[in-house]
Amino acid sequence: MIGHTPPATEHPFDVDTRVDRSSDGRFEATLSDRWNALGGVINGGYYVAVCLRALHEVLPHPDPVAVSTFFLRRGAPGPAEVRTDIARQGRRISAGEASLCQGGQELVRTTATFADLDQGQGLTEVLAKKPDLPAPEEAIDPIGDARLPGVTMTDHVEFRYPDSPGWRKGQPSGDPSVEFWIRFTGGRDADTLSLPLLVDGAAPAVLELGVAGSTTLQLTTHVRGRPAPGWLACRVTTRYVIGGYHEEDFEIWDTRGNLAAQARQLALVLAD
Amino acid sequence: MIGHTPPATEHPFDVDTRVDRSSDGRFEATLSDRWNALGGVINGGYYVAVCLRALHEVLPHPDPVAVSTFFLRRGAPGPAEVRTDIARQGRRISAGEASLCQGGQELVRTTATFADLDQGQGLTEVLAKKPDLPAPEEAIDPIGDARLPGVTMTDHVEFRYPDSPGWRKGQPSGDPSVEFWIRFTGGRDADTLSLPLLVDGAAPAVLELGVAGSTTLQLTTHVRGRPAPGWLACRVTTRYVIGGYHEEDFEIWDTRGNLAAQARQLALVLAD
């Protein structure tokens, strides 16, 4: 089966990750300027989402359970191409790779294993707790009407924090650990194809160390469940900044209290 | 530069990960039966190490800072081929991909970013502690002379645990979190090219849940520093087993108290 077609909504996530098959395994895409992150650069998770849309077209299973992306070069809004390659087609699991290219240059390379999470059987033991957050309606919108310079993706992804983040007040807390709510604006619920964007969709936790920003080198997302509709609870932590390199661990839980995704990226802090 | 040539020792790690260039970007390798894990299958980390030896030959930087491997099919001892592809050659960072193939079938695909960790500059903030272990000489060798059935890699990698692991006594503890020492036998110190083997080189933490074993689907290793010679302290944790899928987080610290590697894999538990 080519199952679970993504919802054909007019939400910017669906419009901007659309791919059109041009030839065997190749797809045309158009990179949008609606997913710009700090610094006005295209968000890494958006590139991943475009790659996954193409892989979803060529692989038989619906859910990207393991996704790894290497960020090679910066792209710009405009036409792009996704070249896919199938590495394995099994009964339970399939795997493939997508290179997102622009002007003959490869921007990112994403490898992914797809499966059907409905068929996940066997042991379940959850040994950690979901984030402990106040209800979204009692939490704070850290962006509001004051868009961050150059950032456009906050028009399509919104947040609720228990307290206004230190970096937002110009008072970094020194503790790069944070929990908050996330969702797409406009009632577009997250699915397993959009979780790998959301895990890269928030302000880097290292902003609480007073750095100016962070550039992702590599991002792995493990999708662990299909999320329930509505707000998603995030737990984000950086523990090791060494010589400028740091990891960021990102968990997403749904409102039923189930883990939906677990991600880690290796990134480089940007000096002021 | 093609720098930091791996040590040309006769240790099985160096002998068994040797690659010989056969043509442009292609290398001949011989998969050994000396790195078999539980179940008598070739250890996943060994495949990764063979891929990295080939990538080290074609990329200019010495240290694999981010390594992601997808495990596609099981191989067998004997001849194999590694096909490499350079994705980027930059001044500070290079990236490439290696496919390890046998009999025309791709066994694993490894993508990696290489850099020079000596050039790592910028912020250092370490917000978690190193494993709290007794000295190796006061700790227990869980294998000793009683090799596990089918397992050969414990002839070349040795361990010291604070206490004999529950799974080893037939009494799984129920807590898949463990700390222990690891090193190669025979005085072969670990380097940045061998850490991605060691992070997959121990018994899976989920054995403490009473499962028979675990099969790795995808493994990411971030090498965070060049390890000091000698024993390495490991911290291994699984927190989420969901429908048979589980992550395993693996940290390796050196005896100077520096983090050397941080890894996560997505795996499937094996029923009895």
pLDDT in tens, A222-238: 999 999 999 999 999 99
Q: What CA–CA distance (Å, rounded) separates A51 from A29?
A: 10
**Strand duo B93-102 + B63-71: pairing:** unpaired
Kindly state whether B192 is in contact with chain A, defined as any CB-CB distance less than 8 angstroms.
no
* A241·B121 Cβ contact <8 A: no
Evaluate whether A232 touches A181 at the Cβ level (below 8 Å). Answer: yes
Q: Give the minimum alpha-carbon distance from B155 to chain A in angstroms, rounded to a whole number.
A: 32
Q: To the nearest whole number, what is the mean pLDDT of chain B?
A: 95
For residue A9, pLDDT beyond 90: no
pTM score, whole prediction: 0.96
Q: Maximum Cα–Cα distance for chain B, whole Å?
A: 52
pLDDT of B6 = 59
Of B70, B123, B258, the CB nearest to A111: B70
Evaluate whether B85 touches B94 at the Cβ level (below 8 Å). Answer: no
CA-wise closest residue to B257 among B130, B167, B157, B153: B130
Kindly state whether B91 is in contact with chain A, defined as any CB-CB distance less than 8 angstroms.
no
pLDDT in tens, B171-203: 999 999 999 999 999 999 999 999 999 999 999
Give residue A271's pLDDT band: very low, low, confident or very high (50, 70, 90).
confident
Q: To the nearest whole number, what is the mean pLDDT of chain A?
A: 95
DSSP assignment of A37-97, as one string?
-GGGPBPHHHHHHHHHHHHHHHSS-SEEEEEEEEE-S---SEEEEEEEEEEEE-SSEEEEE
Evaluate whether B87 touches A109 at the Cβ level (below 8 Å). Answer: yes
Contacts of B244 in chain A (CB under 8 A): 120-123
Mutate to test the interface with A, among B48, B71, B100, B123 (most CBs of A within 10 A): B123
* B218·A113 Cβ contact <8 A: yes
Q: Give the minimum alpha-carbon distance from A110 to chain B in angstroms, rounded to a whole number.
A: 9
For residue A1, pLDDT beyond 50: no
- The DSSP call for residue A202 is S
Evaluate whether B65 touches B118 at the Cβ level (below 8 Å). Answer: no
ipTM above 0.90, yes or no: yes
Q: Which amino acid is at B104?
A: G
For residue A215, pLDDT beyond 50: yes
* A239·B123 Cβ contact <8 A: no
Backbone angles phi, psi at A53, to 5 degrees: -60, -40
pLDDT (average), residues A127-153: 93
Kindly state whether A146 is in contact with chain B, defined as any CB-CB distance less than 8 angstroms.
no
pLDDT (average), residues B199-215: 96
Instruction: Pick the residue from chain A with its C-alpha nearest to B251.
Output: A240
* A68·B70 Cβ contact <8 A: yes
Q: Give the minimum alpha-carbon distance from A253 to chain B in angstroms, rounded to a whole number.
A: 12
Give residue A2's pLDDT band: very low, low, confident or very high (50, 70, 90).
very low
Q: Which helix (H) or strand (E) holds A14?
A: helix A12-16
For residue A5, pLDDT beyond 70: no
pLDDT in tens, B7-31: 668 999 999 999 999 999 999 999 9
Kindly state whether A259 is in contact with chain B, defined as any CB-CB distance less than 8 angstroms.
yes
Contacts of A125 in chain B (CB under 8 A): 209, 241
pLDDT of B271 = 75
* B122·A217 Cβ contact <8 A: no
Kindly state whether B70 is in contact with chain A, defined as any CB-CB distance less than 8 angstroms.
yes
Q: Please report the number of interchain residue pairs, chain A to chain B, with beta-carbon separation below 8 angstroms.
A: 165
Q: What CA–CA distance (Å, rounded) separates A131 from A152?
A: 27
Kindly state whether B123 is in contact with chain A, defined as any CB-CB distance less than 8 angstroms.
yes
Strands (E), chain A: 19-23, 26-31, 63-71, 78-89, 93-102, 105-115, 125-126, 157-160, 177-184, 213-223, 232-237, 240-242, 245-254, 259-270
Distances (CA, A) of A108 to A45, A76, B174, B207: 11, 13, 40, 37
